[in-house]
Structure 1
Amino acid sequence: MPLIGLQKSLWLVAIATSCWIVWLSRNGIVFEMLVTTIDALLFHPKMRVLMWARVIHNECIFSESDWWSSPVKCIVGGRSMRTRDLVWDPPPMGRIKFNVAGFVMNEIAACGGVLRDDKGVVSALFSGSCTARALEMAALMAIKEAAKMVIDLIRTELVPLIVECNSSTILDWLKYSCLRLWSFRNLFVNIEGSLRRMAEVRIEVTNQGKNGVAKALAKVGLSRNTLFRAYW
């Protein structure tokens, strides 16, 4: 498909998705007395457009980190070995996966994450600044928030969970307590307390390309004073 044709198609998908989200939000307000924020109306369409675009244009690879800032630039070509590292890996059937990331710029830290099932359907996300002093601490706070959302909001403690980040250091800290920094002890206690409430949890490491949405949400979070959470 020519680039101009693909651009037009993505634009139409974006319009249809935005109208659909507004319609669902309107019905929620009228019939269920739900409250919808502007943040939710901005975040939800972007996530749904990505999922719909993948279904419609399954011959294309979408770089998730670029999708959040520039949907047109995120298209990197057809499916090949070269671009496979940019594709998010779904969890095994019956499991859910929470991709998380931390981000630090000019001594300001933020974290972000997105929860998806084995079909790639998004059910929760978060984005916002955090009181972290380093990138590793921001990533740990993202894991802490992911576990909290699964327990408090999603109510799926019995569903096997995979938490994926792009830091092997974080994985080593969670596996071997002797490697942990003493200053992070309270954070580890909080994380482990939440993880013990779940039936099965795996912490895994992935590359930055496959963790694109989480990293993009963390970057967006730099401009937020509070943590934005959404689930549906």
Structure 2
Amino acid sequence: MVYSSNECLKFNVYGIVNKDRAGYGGILRDKEGVTRALFSGSVAKNDTDLAEIGTVIVALEVFLAMKWKLNDSLFIELGAIVVFNWCAIKSMRPLSLQATFADIERDIEKVGNVVFSMAEKNRNKMKSSLAIAGINREEMFKAW
């Protein structure tokens, strides 16, 4: 089944570090604030920026798996200014992450138009909760 969206869709994503592990989470909402998808997971590296770039990858994967067709843009709201700069300004991307960003660019082409923005601090408690839960999660959790 293919869904059509005439409305604004926004993924709020977040990465967090706790000792030797990092967790991440994301929540997709429509313009009315209705949750359409969410995910939570962990990575072994304790780097908040790498955890958050992982959220961008998973957000795009989840959106593509939902088979939605956009008439507008998919907004991805980030919590880390460093990751926002990497996504918005190609020249700021570390060389070590070029393959990762090539994958992200391929997924963006499949989605259509993706717009990155910065989240206000502590504005979305759900994404923070998903990221915290992800630290202790052994397997990725995705739902839509």
One fold, TM greater than 0.5? yes
Which residue pairs with 2:75 in the alignment?
162
Which residue pairs with 1:125 in the alignment?
38
Cα RMSD for the two superposed structures = 1.5
- Aligned residue runs from structure 1 range 186-205, under 5 A: 186-205=99-118
Greater strand share, structure number:
2
Pair 1:98–1:168, CA change in 2 (3 A): same
Pair 1:144–1:157, CA change in 2 (3 A): farther
Greater helix share, structure number:
1
User: Aligned pair 1:100/2:9, yes or no?
Assistant: no
Pair 1:211–1:186, CA change in 2 (3 A): farther
Give how far 1:133 is off: 4.4
Give how far 1:168 is off: 1.7
Separation (CA, whole Å) in 1 of partners of 2:69 and 2:103: 16
SS in 2 for 1:196: helix
Which amino acid in structure 2 is aligned with residue 174 of structure 1? Answer: C
How many pairs does the alignment contain? 138
Pair 1:178–1:133, CA change in 2 (3 A): farther
Give how far 1:175 is off: 2.2
The list of structure 1 runs, each at least 4 consecutive aligned residues, that deviate by more than 6 angstroms after superposition, is: none
Separation (CA, whole Å) in 1 of partners of 2:10 and 2:85: 19
Separation (CA, whole Å) in 2 of partners of 1:157 and 1:138: 27
Q: Is the 8 A contact 2:20 2:44 kept in 1?
A: no
Q: How many percent identity over aligned positions? A: 28
Q: Is the 8 A contact 1:109 1:134 kept in 2?
A: yes
TM normalised by structure 2 equals 0.88
Separation (CA, whole Å) in 1 of partners of 2:10 and 2:60: 11
Q: Which has the larger radius of gyration?
A: 1
Separation (CA, whole Å) in 2 of partners of 1:199 and 1:177: 18
